Structure 1
Amino acid sequence: MLGCSTDMYHHDLTLDEALDGEEQVAGNVIACAASNEDDGLVSVFFYQRDGASNVKYYETESADVDKDDFENYYRIDLSATDVFNGYLKKFEVAAFEEKWVIVTFEEAGKVHLSNPIRLKHETRPTEYLPQNVYVDDGEPGSPVFTWDDGTYTDSEIYFQVVSDAQGNLLSGTYTLENRFQFYNLDNVVLNITEQPPSALKSSSAYTFTLLAVSADNWVNLYSEIDFRAK
């Protein structure tokens, strides 16, 4: 089991203690969390920039604590796994109650921290609704994706990934609108695409993945569809 055994907790090392004497950068790790669709686990996704190392996972023992007090976060030893062939990473956690989590890594001599992430797998399990995504492929090589929110309408930002048939991330973008056109950045507010991608190839298979994220970094909606470029 992941994240449930007490010997995985470093009760002698809080996040506050780990940061003692370290130069730190708050809110500079892109991360969010979603309940998995069918195995009862929670996935904590994060983007590990090139050159970042020593990734660590911290969590509180419950949600009923001050999320901004680093003394409430304890380190847990977890191994990250690849998403989109390593472009993103995730920790998979067996969380038996809701709590707050933070992901950290080291980069350029500083410790960078994610914003606190509220796990809400009990009260707001992530919805998996591929039928909520629509593709308009009227412009060759540059389809327009739109989507509807699910039950929860408080999502503040939307993360979109276009990947190829081998699962390689071609573009990773964030918008505030329920719309994204590949690869038009006019309404993109955050872009983690390392290299501008080429236009999509006619008749080739691709996947569009959408995460609708709330203000406390919980994924309300996870939608994934396969499509072919025109």
Structure 2
Amino acid sequence: MNKIKYITLCFAALLSCSEDNDDVLQTLATYTQGRVFEMGAVIACAASDKDTGEVLAFYYLESQASDIRFYETNNAQVDENDFTNYTRNSIREEPFFNGYLGKFTQSADHEKWIIITFELDGEIKMSNPIRLKQISKPTVWNDDVTINQSQSGMPHFMWEDNPFGDNAIYFQVVSDESDNLLSGTYTYENQFQYYNTNNVVLNVTTKTPPNLVLSENYNFTVMDVSLDNWVNWVIEKPFIAE
């Protein structure tokens, strides 16, 4: 009797393991087969870490989204629009800017394409393909930004335009000292003013940004994103509100 129980338990464990492996090895084509999906519905990009060289994939997680997934190709020499080339990687997502955004961190010894997905309202939402360039074009990190605070509480940020020659858009974040995101915006121009959306082409800030408190510490971050969603350049600069 005990032997029968043991065999049954082993079989169940093997079945569970097999199901887990099938899920991990599932292609994007299999996942989307017979499902409603939307390309470009997940705002995402990727960069190489300034210290470790690891790949950091960032994405905006919409409220009520679930089943976040990371798909990757074997290399970069494939058709990035063919879903059969993408296999699921079970790496865990992490909070970024205290959960306002999400992040995947991965050590990768070769370049490839990735797609990030989640489910929302019964549909599969997908990012556009992201081309990893951590070897051929590692992300440059610096603090080269000019901050003009002549208008109190509305700092104006300006940086060099398109220094690497293939910029598509800029993503800016103003955060507080605790790394809480206060403002998240996209512009085509190499300048942004807090609380001013005149040149903003996409706004991921869900609430009206709070007024900056004079003499308090804040941080500014901008990402120079290419057409294939690789981050060429990251600027990080702390500042004190004036």
TM-score range, shorter chain: over 0.9
Give the match for residue 229 of structure 2.
Answer: 217
Q: Normalized against structure 1, the TM-score is what?
A: 0.94
Offset of 1:219 from its aligned partner?
0.2
State how 1:1-230 maps to structure 2 within 5 Å.
12-130=25-143, 132-149=144-161, 151-230=163-242
Which structure shows the higher helix fraction? 2
Change (3 A) 1:33 1:47: same
Change (3 A) 1:178 1:11: same
Q: Normalized against structure 2, the TM-score is what?
A: 0.89
Give the match for residue 4 of structure 1.
Answer: none
2: CA distance, partners of 1:28 / 1:135: 32
Q: Would the aligned equivalents of 2:156 and 2:193 in 1 still touch at CA under 8 Å?
A: yes
Q: Percent identity?
A: 48
1: CA distance, partners of 2:163 / 2:173: 22
Offset of 1:83 from its aligned partner?
0.8
Letter in 2 for 1:82: P
Offset of 1:190 from its aligned partner?
0.3
Residue 29 of structure 1 aligns to a residue whose secondary structure is: coil
Shift >4 Å, 4+ stretches? 7-12
- Alpha-carbon displacement from aligned partner over 1:189-211 (angstroms, at most 9, x marks no partner): 00000101122111111000111
Q: How many residues align?
A: 223
Residue 213 of structure 1 aligns to a residue whose secondary structure is: strand
Letter in 2 for 1:210: V
Change (3 A) 1:49 1:220: same
